[in-house]
Amino acid sequence: MKIKDLIKQDAGFQYVIDSMEFMSSAGRRKMLNTEFSDNAAELQDEWQRLDRAIAATREYKYKKPYIELRHCLMQLHDLQGTLVSLANHTSLNEIELFEIKSLAQLTQIASGAISEMALSEMLPLPDTKEVFEVLDPDNTGIANFYIYDSYDARLAPLRRELQGLQTAGGDPVRISELLAEQNEIQNTVCIGLSDKLTHWTDTLVTAMEQMAYTDYLLSKADLSIRWELTRPEIGETTEYMGLINPRLKEHNEKHKLRYQPIDITLRPGVCLITGANMAGKTVLLKSVGTAQIMAQCGMYVPASKAIVRLMEGIATSIGDDQDEMNGLSSYAAEIIKISNILKECRKTELLVLIDEPARTTNPVEGKALVQAIITILNTMNSTTLITTHYSQLGTDCRRLRVKGFVEDMADVPLNPQNINRFIDYSLTEDQSDNVPQEALRIADILGCDEQLTTLARENVNR
């Protein structure tokens, strides 16, 4: 699966990608076509290149070549279509020849900058000097392209005559004849240049792709520095210390709200997450999913320390999947998705994230479904996180509980505006089969109708 597919499934990862600063459309295209990889050697190589790119961009002595390299990338056009035409021996027009000449020049300049930054070994660019010379017969040294007189001996005298007639307001018939002859010669030149350039098709394709990758790599390095991301390690379990959700963290900082990073360790099998409403269980699932995608797409992750068990894919059932166009209720859409997840887990080792399954159906059947889901997934090698509000499930699995409200932290009365300050989002191992009962307490804090909460408490007590 490629990044362009993953961003459709994970809004948190979409936010990550939207936060990257690409210099070119080619760099973004390269990123979108990057594969989700479970190849440890490939990922280690990519993280090593990212390490070196980060170090180079931070070095003051490389500031000048780094700026020059970014300037080259800003001028880079994505020539995929033009290069396909060249490979198919299609004659290029003057604009396309200009694009080829520009790519050749930018590649040479970028190669020099990369060499100054001591990155040539990991970012090798092909020599495009001969391509540039073919398109610059008069040695102008500039990227602009023109059908120069030197390409065909007939052009110089023809253009002199044409200019003289046009300046003097000469015979329009003759001017028309000369213009037609000039166009014919120029077309012949374009055909000849296109035939000659096919010899360097592979070189130009390599230059295009390496320049695009360079842009992508520098964008990842920039994001890693700005967000203080961490290089992950590969292990048999997944462990995050100080895991954050970048999107939520930025939102909280913008609104001067507290943000609490989370520590969590995941092992193959099922881990049940319980906790009060508003305790961040859904955010935790989304954060784990986004971090896994980032790691396996060759990026650093938003945590102070990260050990990642490589998975073959990610499967999620988070949020309201109602599909009104297909006539599906929330429950129907959810149960179909979970059924598909189980089928995939029988074939593939996945990271599975399921948020409060069967919460929209009746409690008796809902509880039975959750028990069945846990029992099935516990027999597989996938790593599964499930959040739930169901108590007394009676299933054998690991349990973690979000600590939730800590009233002795409160130095002012709780209210909807400051409630975030008094929630401890950290996780603790929980051997019990009960879930916290915080719904009525939260309703009180949020100022809900007093008669409603009073009657509800009486019902609970009965």
Task: State the pLDDT at residue 430.
Answer: 78
**Pick from 79, 115, 388: which is nearest to 204 by CA?**
79
How does strand 398-405 pair with strand 423-429?
antiparallel
Whether 247 and 166 have beta carbons less than 8 Å apart is answered as no
Helix (H, G, I), strand (E, B) or coil at 61: helix
- State residue 238 phi and psi, 5-degree precision: -105, 130
Task: State the pLDDT at residue 324.
Answer: 43
- State residue 35 phi and psi, 5-degree precision: -85, 145
Contacts of 84 (CB under 8 A, 6+ apart): none
Torsion-angle region of 436 (φ positive above 0: left; ψ -120 to 50: alpha; else: beta): beta
DSSP letter at 21? -
Task: State the pLDDT at residue 411.
Answer: 60
Task: State the pLDDT at residue 321.
Answer: 45
What separation in angstroms does the CA of 151 have from each of 87, 179, 268, 406, 438? Answer: 23, 17, 68, 81, 82
- How many other C-beta atoms lie within 10 A of the C-beta of residue 226? 11
DSSP letter at 62? G
Over its C-alpha atoms, the chain yields an Rg (Å, rounded) of 31
Edge-first strand order for the sheet with 262-266 is: 233-234, 305-308, 238-243, 262-266
- How many other C-beta atoms lie within 10 A of the C-beta of residue 276? 21
Whether 24 and 256 have beta carbons less than 8 Å apart is answered as no
Distance between CA 351 and CA 344 in Å, rounded?
11
**Pick from 255, 256, 276, 252: which is nearest to 444 by CA?**
276
How does strand 269-274 pair with strand 383-387?
parallel
| Cβ neighbourhood burial of 79 (10 Å; 0-12, 13-18, 19+) | buried
Distance between CA 446 and CA 276 in Å, rounded?
14
Strand partners, 35: 2
Helix (H) or strand (E) holding 429: strand 423-429
Task: State the pLDDT at residue 413.
Answer: 66
Edge-first strand order for the sheet with 269-274 is: 313-317, 350-355, 383-387, 269-274, 398-405, 423-429
**Pick from 218, 225, 209: which is nearest to 69 by CA?**
218
**Pick from 285, 34, 50, 79: which is nearest to 197 by CA?**
79
Q: How many Cα atoms within 13 Å fall on the side-chain side of residue 304?
A: 7
- Placement of tokens 């070196």 in the chain: 52
pLDDT in tens, the chain (462 residues): 899 999 988 999 999 999 999 999 999 999 999 999 999 999 999 999 999 999 999 999 999 999 999 999 999 999 999 999 999 999 999 999 999 999 999 999 999 999 999 999 999 999 999 999 999 999 989 888 889 999 999 999 999 999 999 888 888 999 899 999 999 999 999 999 999 999 999 999 999 999 999 999 999 999 999 999 999 999 999 999 999 999 999 988 888 888 889 999 999 999 998 877 666 889 999 999 999 999 999 999 999 999 999 999 999 998 754 444 355 677 788 888 999 999 999 999 999 999 988 887 777 888 888 889 999 999 888 999 998 877 667 677 888 888 877 765 556 666 666 677 777 888 888 777 666 666 777 777 777 777 887 777 777 777
Distance between CA 205 and CA 330 in Å, rounded?
48
- Placement of tokens 């305790």 in the chain: 279
Distance between CA 227 and CA 444 in Å, rounded?
37
